[in-house]
A and B are shown apart, each in its own frame.
Chain A
Amino acid sequence: MNAFFRDVIVFLQNPGLTHFLIISALLFSMGIFAILTRRNAVMVLMGIELVLNAANINFIAFSRYTTGTFDGQVIAIFVIILAAAEAAIMLAIVLNIFQNFNTVNVDEINQLKD
């Protein structure tokens, strides 16, 4: 039992590529969960941001542990900027939805079905 705890602690103390990939996978799945299950449109947008950040962590982790260059980090900065611009547009869309339908509940915005 003690050996197991010690192994866990040693595992946590020496991060490698796997640790970052696990975190990125967790964040990604949480983001997808938010996108698919939240009723409020703004919450869906938060899920999208989570997904983008998970991809960012992936980029950075691979750049750090596979090649020693900084390509992944630069790409991550690009992604952050693009995510910001995209968030602005998404919020504008949500605002327009609200002005038209008077709700931001995505379950009620289903007028495209007929």
Chain B
Amino acid sequence: MSHETILTLSLIVLLLPLFNFVVLVFFGRRLPRQGDWLGTSLLFVGLALSAVILYTKLTAYHDETIQATITWVNFGNVPGFGPMKMDLGIMVDNISAIMLVVVNIVSALVHLFSIGYMQGDVRYGRYFSYLGVFTFSMLGIVLTNNFFLMYVSWELVGLSSYLLIGHWFEKKSASDAAKKAFVVNRVGDVGMFIGIMILFAQFHTFSFDAIFTGMQAGQVPFGSEPWLTAAGILIFCGAIGKSAQFPLHVWLPDAMEGPTPVSALIHAATMVAAGVYLVTRTFAMMTADALMFIAYIGAITAFISATIAIAQNDIKKVLAYSTVSQLGYMVMGLGVGAYTAGFFHLSTHAMFKAGLFLGSGSVIHAMHHALHHSHDHQTDPQDIRNMGGLWKKMPITFWTFLVYTLAICGVPFTSGFLSKDEILAGTLAYGNLTGNYFIPIIGFFVAGLTAFYMFRVVILTFFGEHKDQHRLDSIHESPHVMTIPLILFAVLSFFFFFTGNLNPISVQGWFVNAVERPVSVVPAGVAAAGKEVFEESLHHAHAPAMVLSLIVAGLGMLVAFATYYWKKINADAVAERLKPVHQFLVNKWYFDELYEFVFVQGTKGIAWAYNWFDSKVIDGIVNGVGRWTMAVTHGTKEAWEEGHAGAIAYMVVMGFISFYAGWVTGSALLPTAVGVWGMAGYGLLSLGVAGMTFFLFYVGVGGFDNKIIDGLVNFVATLAGFFGLLGRKFQTGKVQTYLAFAMFAVMVFFLWFR
């Protein structure tokens, strides 16, 4: 299989979902079953093709990068910039081949699951078309080899997220959540755009390869390394927005308003992974400072969201915060330099988090049916306090959910154990190298919290007693089309598929051999610890990290079981004792309230200030001028009629002054070539103006103004009326007819007066 074949296949994989979108948007109504079979089958074909691509790439072209570029537009010589050309292209290397498979698996299985979950939905066909455009955009991010196409696909993914979160837009909370997601993403995208532009301004190209080659040759943006750090951090800003890192993490929990399969696809496995993917793509250009920034943001995010997750009661919200926390893990892993670990966690997390969301979707679907059956529209089907004892009634959901939970907690034999362990070892290696142990401490603490809140969810949902026995009786397992994806994801959460190595605690295998940390192209002064140094430290940190992570996860699980299963610790009493802390966590650290106060109220405050200025100051001036004019005219009239000597004297003096001012202005305005006659002429003119002003005052005051001036005005109006009557036919009263006449007149002018 040659390079061209691989590239063609990847183009087909990219365009199949787009074809799906176009067909479903235009012909969805007319297809039988609104076209869900079309979307799902096209995705499975895409999945097969991407599996073929991955296999071929890893066996035949393991260490190569296959690219193809075309010129999109050539602007020639731009004044002040130089020759400017914009290229588009795709590249297939190991990480994009792996991501192709990941995205396609999750998308295909979510399509399958949605056939069961969204049955009877009001906008069934449109839902599948939006899933198609989302998959196309995500694959665009994965396959691109330049910043421009990545930015375009980035925005498209944000748009698809908006459309899908707001799927049930009649519900105000859903449409608000969609807007919030889009706007918060956009804030991150502004930073990313600035970062891309910094690189473009220096290297005059968007292509990754060209930029990295330029950096390796010694070129840095604007000739200084701080600008390189700035560019790296700004590009990471896009990842902050897209991957819901602190401080732009606020959109992801609200995004749970969308249908659960959408949450599985977008907000667990793929779109939020796009930010992490961007960091892996641009890893080579990150300086040590940028990487430290990335690591800290990841650690802070992981910590904040894990603490919030332990206090949430809605099953989807817990999973949403869990996603934010795990994304923080991935970003942290990349920031400390554990490139392979971060990407590994991305792939494994995609599998088990999508499975977790689909499993919770299965539970919610069953609860919904049971509540509908008992005509109960008050109870929340997503609240874990309303669940319990479901493991007997929904066995497949339970066992697969348990597998996913074990994976996310990092229990051996799962893939999650391997990836999480690698990240924690990486943070420990970073700590050993730099002496900064803040990040590893956070990492291990969050691992413990993760185990705690995940098992809390499992115990409260599946074990224990259900409050309403009647409701429990009407709960049954989901249909096959929904349980098959669950089983497949559970199978994929085992360690074997990611290593091909029979040792469950060893990470060596095809994956880590395929994903190698790229050589940094940053100038040596600001580069982070090199690959060899880091891997040496990693080797030593492996064993302690593994032991520590097992202890920490075990502790978390123990506390969860003690509190919720054996009921040794009373959770409510603890919440009561630590009420302020508990409230702080339940209210999500008050981030939404903070943003509301700073940005929304702040904008309203500025708007109020401008409004005050406009109505008081500017309108004051305008109204004041009018009132002054009125006062002057009334004043002169009254003064003349009542014979106020002082006022009349004032008017005479003003008349002379205006004459003098007119003379001076006239003489100042005269052109230098004109002689004495010009001067005399101007003088006479200003005399006339001044006199006329005085005369008009007198005439107006005397009442002649009303007869002469008004008479003139009335005469002109009558004339206009006469001619108007002539042209009455043209008066249809419709504005657009008048506009058409005006256009016609303009065209006549253009053609006649060439």
Chain A: minimal CB distance from B84 (Å):
11
Cα(A30)–Cα(B736), bound, Å: 15
Asked whether any CB of chain A lies closer than 8 Å to the CB of B76, the reply is: yes
Query: Are the CB atoms of A35 and B739 closer together than 8 Å?
Result: yes
B726 contacts partner chain A, Cβ-Cβ < 8 Å: no
Report B153-183 residues with CB < 8 Å from chain A CB. none
A1-23 contacts to B (CB < 8 Å): 12-16
* In the complex, A109 has a CB within 8 A of chain B: yes
Residues of B within 8 A of A37 (CB): 736
Q: Does B603 contact A (CB under 8 A)?
A: no
Contacts A35-B736, A37-B736, A110-B733; is A68 near B79 (CB within 8 Å)? Answer: yes
| Contact status of A113 and B73, CB under 8 A, knowing A35-B736, A36-B743, A37-B736 | no
Give the CA-CA distance A32 to B736 in the complex, in Å.
10
Contact assessment for A14 and B76 in the assembled complex, using a CB-CB cutoff below 8 Å: yes
Query: Which residues of chain B come closer than 8 Å to A60, judged between CB atoms?
Result: none
Contact B739 A112 (CB under 8 A): no
Interface SS of chain B: mixed
How does the 8 Å CB contact mask read for B130-170 relative to A, with 1 for contact and 0 for none?
00000000000000000000000000000000000000000
B720: shortest Cβ distance to chain A, in Å? 15
Within 721-754 of B, Cβ neighbours of A (below 8 Å) are at 731-736, 739-740, 743
The answer for the CA separation of A19 and B733 in the assembled complex, in Å, is 39
Interface status of B26 (Cβ within 8 A of chain A):
no
Q: A36-B740, A36-B743, A64-B79 are in contact. Are A14 and B74 (CB under 8 A)?
A: yes
Residues of B within 8 A of A36 (CB): 736, 739-740, 743
Decide if B74 touches A13 in the complex (CB within 8 Å). Answer: yes
Are A32 and B743 in contact, with the CB atoms below 8 A?
yes
Within the complex, what minimum Cβ distance (angstroms) separates B402 from chain A?
A: 56
Output the least CB separation between A100 and chain B (Å).
14
Interface residue from B78, B80, B733 paired with A109 (Cβ < 8 Å): B733
CB of B71 closer than 8 Å to a CB of A = yes
Residues of A within 8 A of B739 (CB): 35-36
Contact A109–B735 (Cβ < 8 Å): yes
- The residues in A between 63 and 114 inclusive whose CB is less than 8 angstroms from any CB of B are 64, 68, 106-107, 109-114
Q: Does B72 contact A (CB under 8 A)?
A: yes
Give the interface centre of A16, A113, A114 by most chain B CB atoms within 10 Å: A113
Contacts of B73 in A (CB 8 A): 12-15
Q: A36-B743, A68-B79, A68-B80 are in contact. Are A110 and B734 (CB under 8 A)?
A: yes
Query: Which residues in window 47-84 of B have CB below 8 A to A?
Result: 71-76, 78-80
Pick from B71, B732, B735, B740: contact of A13, CB under 8 Å:
B71
A35 to B736, CA, bound (A): 7
List, in ascending order, chain A residues with CB within 8 A of B743's CB. Answer: 32, 36
Inter-chain contact A113/B733, CB cutoff 8 Å: yes
Query: By the criterion CB–CB under 8 Å, are A106 and B71 in contact?
Result: no
Q: Which residues of B contact A109 (CB under 8 A)?
A: 733-735
A14 to chain B, nearest CB (A): 5
What's the Cα separation between A14 and B732 when bound, in Å? 48
B736 partner, pick from A14, A64, A106, beta carbons under 8 A: A106
The answer to whether A57 has its CB under 8 Å from any CB of chain B is no
Q: How far is the CB of A103 from chain B (nearest CB, A)?
A: 13
Please, how many angstroms separate the alpha-carbon atoms of A107 and B738 in the complex? 12
Which size bracket describes the interface of A in this complex? 20 to 34
A32-B740 Cα distance, complex, nearest whole Å? 9
Contacts of A61 in B (CB 8 A): none
Contact B732 A113 (CB under 8 A): yes
Assess whether A44 is interfacial by the CB under 8 Å rule.
Answer: yes
Q: CB distance A106 to B75 under 8 Å? A: no
Chain B residues contacting A64 (CB-CB under 8 Å) are 78-79
A15–B732 alpha-carbon span in the complex (Å): 45
Bound complex: CA A107 to CA B736 (Å)? 8
CA distance A16 to B76 in the complex (A): 9
Contact: B74 with A112, CB < 8 Å?
Answer: no
Question: B734 contacts which of A12, A32, A35, A106 (Cβ < 8 Å)?
Answer: A106
Cβ distance B721 to chain A, nearest Cβ, rounded Å:
13
Our pick among A15, A16, A44, A113 for the contact of B731 (Cβ within 8 Å) is A113
**B-contact 0/1 string along A19-60, CB 8 Å cutoff:** 000000000000010011100000010000000000000000
Given A14-B76, A68-B79, answer yes or no on A106-B732 (Cβ-Cβ < 8 Å): no
The docked-state distance in angstroms from the alpha carbon of A36 to that of B743 is 10
Interface hub of A12, A44, A109, A110 (most chain B Cβ within 10 A): A110
Q: How far is the CB of B658 from chain A (nearest CB, A)?
A: 36
Q: Give the docked Cα–Cα distance between A113 and B732 (Å).
A: 6
- In the complex with contacts A13-B74, A14-B76, A106-B731 CB distance below 8 A: no
How far is it, in angstroms, between the C-alpha of A64 and the C-alpha of B84 when the chains are bound?
14
Kindly list chain B residues whose C-beta atoms are within 8 Å of the C-beta of A112. Answer: 731, 733
Chain A residue numbers with a CB within 8 Å of B74 are 13-15
Q: How far is the CA of A44 from the CA of B735 in the complex (A)?
A: 10
Instruction: Give Cα A106 to B738, complex, Å.
Output: 12
In the complex the two chains form, is A110's CB within 8 Å of B732's CB? Answer: yes
Chain B nearest Cβ from A20, distance in angstroms: 11
Write the nearest CB–CB distance from B332 to chain A, whole angstroms: 43
Q: Bound state CA distance, A64 and B740, in angstroms? A: 33
Closest to A111 in B: B733
A110 to B737, CA, bound (A): 11
Q: How far is the CB of A52 from chain B (nearest CB, A)?
A: 15
**In the bound complex, how far is the Cα of B468 from the Cα of A82, in angstroms?**
65
- Nearest chain A CB to B77's CB is how many angstroms away? 10
| Alpha-carbon separation in the docked complex, A111 to B740 (Å) | 18
Are B736 and A13 in touch, CB under 8 angstroms? Answer: no
CA distance A109 to B733 in the complex (A): 7
Bitwise, B76-105 to A at CB < 8 A (1) or not (0) is 101110000000000000000000000000
Set of chain B residues within 8 Å of A113, measured between Cβ atoms = 731-733
Q: Kindly list chain B residues whose C-beta atoms are within 8 Å of the C-beta of A110.
A: 732-734
Cβ of B749 to closest chain A Cβ, rounded Å? 16
Closest to B76 in A: A14
Among B71, B80, B736, max chain A CB count under 10 A is at B736
9 contacts between A and B (CB under 8 A): A14-B74, A15-B74, A32-B743, A36-B740, A37-B736, A64-B79, A109-B734, A113-B732, A114-B733
Apart from the given pairs A12-B73, A106-B736, 14 other A-B contacts in the complex at a CB distance below 8 Å: A13-B71, A13-B73, A36-B736, A36-B740, A37-B736, A44-B736, A64-B78, A68-B79, A106-B735, A109-B733, A109-B735, A110-B732, A110-B734, A112-B731
A interface with B by C-beta (< 8 Å):
12-16, 32, 35-37, 44, 64, 68, 106-107, 109-114
Give 9 closest A-B pairs by Cβ, nearest first. Answer: A110-B733, A113-B733, A68-B79, A113-B731, A14-B74, A112-B733, A36-B736, A110-B734, A106-B735
